[in-house]
Structure 1
Amino acid sequence: MKLTCAILDDYQGAALRMADWGKLADRVDVRTYRGHFGSEDEVAAAVSDCDIVVIMRERTPFRGTLLRRLPKLKLLVTSGMRNASVDVAAAAELGIAVCGTGSRSEPPAELTWALILGLLRHVPQEHASLRGNGPWQSTVGGDVHGKTLGVLGLGKIGTKVAAVGRAFGMDVVAWSRNLTKERAEAEGVRLASSMEELLEASDVVTIHLVLSDRTRGLLGEAELRRMRPGAILVNTSRAAIVDEPALLRALTDGWIAGAALDVFEQEPLPGDHPFRTLPNVLALPHLGYVTEANYRTYFREAVEDIEAFLAGAPIRTLTP
């Protein structure tokens, strides 16, 4: 008998055209879901008959409670090699293999700059005005040349973001708990002595840290108040790194000039959420990794993961 595979959260209906799923046709029946399931009950009802589930990043959590409701599940494939919303330990206990895929660091770095420039140059407002035959020029944009870019996290993505800042003529300063002066200097940036120093010195603060117990809530009220009133905060990393209520107060009370956001505590973002309407927020629906190159990598390697699993030799396995 064929196995059954479900691909979840295929918002754009892109999964099946981004890889050769025909390689599995004689062994696996594949179906996709474009809509998002908002509850664990909905997920369980949709995939309870599945032997394999393919998920996109952290769009749908697979906690232990959900995994225990899926007795047929043998293989869970996630895009990327890290997914904080999957209980890998519970999967191991239940005999469910969890495998990942490669991921490119260029797309989120590129989107970070789209957000920075879009917010500073008021691109959404001016575009809407032009489309609606409104005023011809109604805003005065901010500059990046000669300003200070603060990069929280100088990993693969942060390094690329910093390099563009340097190309724009910015003074780039970076900080993370394990970042050394030698590593920072190798990338042509200054090491801040503390996160507080970076926040106080920067005109643009951009976050590129991994979410962990140490970084969850890293930027709260005290930290946001250290930022310059004219500064902007950019988050294309993980929403939980910034305390959401504190950020909302910072934006509404003018502690900072604005925020550009691609990640949120709840996704999809509720229709009545203030981030959808605040005039000093530029928000996107978590598009950082959503590019053709990344999608082709994700789904091609998802097919490879399934083939390897069927052959009895799983690859790219995630362990607790």
Structure 2
Amino acid sequence: MIEPFRTNLPLLRDVARVRMYTDCTMDEETILTRSADADAVMVIGFHVPDAMLDRFCGFDGGPGHVRCFAFGGTGVASYIDLARTREHGVRVCNIVHYGDHAVAEHTFALLLELAREVGRLNAEVRAGDWTGADGYALHGKTIGLVGFGGIGQAVARIANGFGMKVAVWNSHVDPMAAAGLGVDLIDDMGDLMERSDIVSLHLPLLAETAGIVTIRELDQMRPGTLFLNTARAEIVEPGALTARLLRGDVRAALDVYEREPLPLDDPLRRVPGIVLTPHVAWRNDEAYVGLTRQVVQSIRSFFAGGDFNVAN
């Protein structure tokens, strides 16, 4: 994202002095040192645990200096304690709709891998195996979406193109958007999962959505259901998805996990037929441009007294 950031930095001309490093480090001490005396910090790719937050902002009685964190993503609650920053008057910003199409396309890449196993078949043909495999038809199947914001709506449009039926858990759904995409609204999440051939999660991680998908709903998925998560692992009750998948009657493709990077001993790795990608659904050139611009706009707004993309 270095070049997209450089392209957008002129937005801060005559607003703020910028200190930018172009190497990659996740080391907390290095990040703290490089952010010395900064009023605002852009947070991309690293977590800000409470001890680090204390030193950034002086919550521990030290000489804190940061008054604004501009987060380059939508799941900021899993990176920074929003309640704590709000209590101390420190602004946290996130970004919106920067990767709607990227995540929707990756969702279908995962679904198609479950349906047609192209990766496995490619490896087999290269090894001289011409056995092949039967595919799983998407046309006419029902995909149930838990979450219907920008990403969920983009997924629905792609699903319509495949001739699929789209059902949506009816929580805070824009009725005009639902009507325009011809979706079936279902009030109970468990009922949605029971009716769907494919279940795909597209909720943001907020205080009210953390753990909202429980074992009760997951238990209602029928054997043979395909399950996708390109949203956040934390919207699922801790341990519930692993327990459900280890029963072996539901196939899944995941891009997000309770612990990232996914540990080598994580039981998810033992789930038969699971497809795993390393939290990359949002990553493409178009998303990088939108992400970096919004992060810089958040900083500019903070210094100018505005409220652009405030998350807390």
The answer to whether the superposition gives a TM-score over 0.5 is yes
- The partner residue of 1:234 within 219, 228, 232 is 228
Match of 1:28 among 18, 24, 31: 18
Q: 1:265 aligned to 2:253?
A: no
Q: Counterpart of 2:102 in structure 1: which amino acid?
A: P
Question: Which AA in structure 1 matches 2:139?
Answer: H
- Going from structure 1 to structure 2, the CA distance change for 1:43 and 1:138 (only over 3 Å counts) comes to farther
Which amino acid in structure 2 is aligned with residue 161 of structure 1? V
Between the aligned partners of 2:49 and 2:205, the Cα distance in structure 1 is 17
- In structure 2, relative to structure 1, the CA distance for the partners of 1:54 and 1:16 (3 Å cut) is farther
Give the letter for the 2:43 counterpart: I
Kindly provide the CA deviation profile for residues 265-288 of structure 1, in whole angstroms up to 9, marking residues without a partner as x.
Answer: 112222332334533211111112
Partner of 1:149: 143
Match in the other structure for 2:290: 297
Partner amino acid, structure 2, of 1:129: E
2:61 corresponds in structure 1 to: none
Against the structure 1 CA distance between its residues 43 and 230, is the aligned structure 2 distance closer, same or farther, given a 3 Å change threshold?
farther
More contact order relative to length (CA 8 Å, sep ≥ 6) = 2
User: C-alpha separation between the residues in 1 aligned to 2:207 and 2:108?
Assistant: 27
Q: Residues of 1 paired with 2:75 and 2:268: CA distance?
A: 27
| Partner Cα separation in structure 1 for residue 174 and residue 305 of structure 2 | 39
Deviation at 1:294, TM superposition (A): 1.2
The corresponding residue for 2:48 is: 62
Ranges in structure 2 where 5+ consecutive residues have no aligned partner: 57-63
Q: Pick closer, same or farther for the CA change 1:196–1:101 going to 2, 3 Å.
A: closer
In structure 2, which of residues 279, 286, 296 is the aligned counterpart of residue 286 of structure 1? Answer: 279
2:304 paired with 1:318: no
Matched, 1:122 2:114: no
| 1:15 equivalent in alignment to 2:2 | yes
* 1:189 corresponds to which of 183, 187, 202: 183
| Superposed displacement of residue 239, structure 1 | 0.5
Amino acid of the residue matched to residue 201 of structure 1? Answer: R
Distance 1:111 1:267 in 2: 18
1:7-52 per-residue CA deviation (whole Å, 9 max, x = no partner) reads xxxxxxx324553366479933311452444xxx557655452514
- Taking structure 1 as the reference length, the TM-score comes to 0.80
Residues in 1 aligned to 2:187 and 2:88: alpha-carbon distance in whole angstroms: 45
TM-score, normalised with respect to structure 2: 0.82
Q: How many residues end up aligned between the 2 structures?
A: 299
- Normalized per residue, the structure richer in helix is 2
171-180 vs 105-114, greater mean Cα deviation: 171-180
